[in-house]
Amino acid sequence: MGTSIVWNGAQGIERTSREAPPPGPGEVRLAVEACGLCGTDLHIASGEYPLARPRVVLGHEFCGTVAQVGEDVENVSTGDRVVVDPNIPCRSCPHCQGGRPHLCEHPQAIGVTRDGGLSETVTVPASQLYRVPEGLPPEAAALTEPLACVLHAVDLSGILPGERALVLGAGPIGVLAAALLVAAGSSGVLVSEPDPARRERVREFGATPISPEELDGQGDFGVVLECVGRPETMRQAVESARAGGTIVWVGVAPPQAEVSIRPYDIFRRELTIRGTYTNPFTMERSLALLASGHIDWRKVITHRLPLDRFDEAWEAHRAGAGLKVCVTPGTA
């Protein structure tokens, strides 16, 4: 039996002893190498994520080594290092059949509705696995899923080389968004962040930090990515776009939250507001970017702690210390 971190079904998490079941047909059991903590984990632990299942093992940003292979698995073998796409579509609803499986009507999600990577071992469908490129460390591989989500958001933004861009929020997602916008050829990426320590970090990714107060009146960005998930910053994103610009709401707001915007403003300035959800068809590109070195993952991961020090990792994550907190099961 190994250590696992589960949601208690109310407002909290618990440490428990659990061993992943043997893999069934089409499944594999992984020895988890590294698992990143995400804002979604905080929402689940607070009872604010409607899709989550009580007593589920948390963790959806993870990689591992294939320890056991079930029947009818041909894409991976024992000993392969892999990352996991946590989003499992039903493959039969109209959205799945129409080529948009991320909008599935009956989705499952590893670390949300079924056991995830905050455990020493986990059993997952082999269909969700991608091989890790040679030499990519576990901490870097565990960034594949969040980077893939940001890639989808940047794709939806339609950023063109030479356009100015704005990112609201300098947490892990905001920093990754800024790095991708720089890589996409933006003529200038500004990142608005109230926390001075986080604000200064964005320089390491080629972006220019500003405080939210400095942003007032600067409505001339072709692309704006909101990476906070608060109604006030979502409204600010709309106000900051130039005429004809595109706003992408990346941050996850509480389900009951509402945003007050002026429809005439959208009409007169012909703005586009887009939502973005998960990581459709971007996992391979994300892995390739991490392996290429174009995204400096070493600057994103600021905390690396073993699973037996999870309380420290969780507190750092809750406090917003640093950027990405990575948990490494089975290491001291």
Angle between helices 172-183 and 144-157 (to 10 degrees): 50
> Rounded to an integer, what distance in angstroms lies between the CA atom of residue 249 and that of residue 202?
20
Mean pLDDT score across all residues of the chain: 95
Residue spans in the chain of domains classed CATH 3.90.180.10: 2-132+296-328
For residue 330, what pLDDT is reported? 65
Cite the residue boundaries of each domain of the chain with CATH code 3.40.50.720. 148-275
Interhelix angle 144-157/283-292, nearest 10 degrees? 110
In angstroms, what CA-CA distances link 218 with 108, 181, 221, 224?
41, 18, 8, 12
What's the distance, CA 136 to chain centroid? 19
Q: b/e per residue, 190-205, with b = 16+ CB within 10 A?
A: bbbbeeeebbebbeeb
Helix, coil or strand: residue 32: strand
Q: Which CATH number fits domain 2-132+296-328: 3.40.50.970, 3.40.50.720, 3.90.1150.10, 3.90.180.10?
A: 3.90.180.10
Mean pLDDT across 96-125:
97
288: left (phi over 0), alpha (psi -120 to 50) or beta: alpha
Q: What is the pLDDT of residue 332?
A: 45
Q: Does domain 148-275 have CATH number 3.40.50.10470?
A: no
Kindly give, in sequence order, each residue whose CB lies less than 8 Å from that of residue 123, ignoring residues fewer than 6 positions away: 20, 21, 22, 23, 24, 27, 28, 29, 30, 115
Residue 85 confidence (pLDDT) above 90: yes
**Pairwise CA distance, residues 107 & 90, whole Å:** 6
Predicted pLDDT at 189: 97
Region 75-84: mean pLDDT is 98
Q: Would you put residue 229 in left (φ > 0), alpha (ψ -120 to 50) or beta?
A: left
pLDDT of residue 11: 86
| Amino acid (one-letter) located at 185 | G
- The DSSP element (H or E) to which 227 belongs, if any, is none
Q: For 254-298, what is each residue's pLDDT tens digit? A: 888 999 999 999 999 999 999 999 999 999 999 999 999 989 999
What's the rounded Cα separation, in Å, for the pair 52 and 40?
10
Two tokens at 114?
Answer: 């079924």
Residue 48 has pLDDT above 90, yes or no: no
